A = this chain, B = another copy of it.
Amino acid sequence: MPTDAQPTTRVRAADELKQVALDQFATVGFAGTSLQHIADHAGYSKSSVLYHFASKEALLEAAIEPAISEFEAVLDDFIAGRGSGRRRTLVARVVDLLLENRQAVHVFLIQGPSLAELPIIARANAAVRRLAEAIGDERESVVDQVRFGIGLGGAAFLLTAGRSFADADALPADDELRDVLHVVLGELLAPRDRPRPTTTD
């Protein structure tokens, strides 16, 4: 695996294909995306796509696996961690992860349940469920679990499907979006028995 500044042809083509595929999977869904579309959009033939990736599923896996690994890392840190800043740290890292992996998150969070038979999606679903349980364990109230579900799902919706409902010229920049998401998700997920934090980082 070369770390060249000048990427080899193989790596470049595979990366292009992964990016195009991820865009398509996130916008029209995994089932709604054909290998032919991906190939056309990337400027290759369908055969080339299947040369670089053994199957459509393998292409999906290659496209979203990094985001899932990162998500699992965030989750493991949260579960293993302790201290008062845990929840705030989780929110910050999840927001960053959402912003940097919009398409992948859309695939495994929004389309996840309908693709559960794919191993990579099953792994992602297991991670999401683990996070839900970790939240549920430490705060048993249904209200809090709903807050978690709305926060996570709502943020994912906002950054993917929901974007198309906003005025194109009114879309906030990512930096602003990150700050705003910190505030709103902080309100949703922060422990309620304390006064709501009004200061941001």
A interface residue numbers (CB < 8 A to B): 27-32, 109-114, 116, 125, 128-129, 132-133, 136, 142-143, 145-147, 149-158, 161-167, 170, 172, 175-177, 179-181, 183-185, 187-188, 194-195, 197-201
Measured between alpha carbons, how far is A170 from B156 in the docked complex, in Å? 23
Q: Are A158 and B149 closer than 8 Å at their CB atoms? A: yes
Pick 27 A–B contacts, CB within 8 A, sort by A: A27-B114, A28-B114, A29-B31, A29-B32, A31-B32, A110-B110, A110-B157, A111-B161, A113-B161, A125-B165, A142-B172, A143-B183, A143-B184, A147-B184, A150-B155, A152-B157, A153-B156, A153-B161, A153-B162, A154-B155, A154-B157, A172-B201, A175-B200, A176-B200, A179-B200, A197-B198, A197-B199
**Interface of A: prevailing SS:** helix
B-chain residues with CB within 8 Å of residue A142 when the two chains form the complex: 172, 176, 180
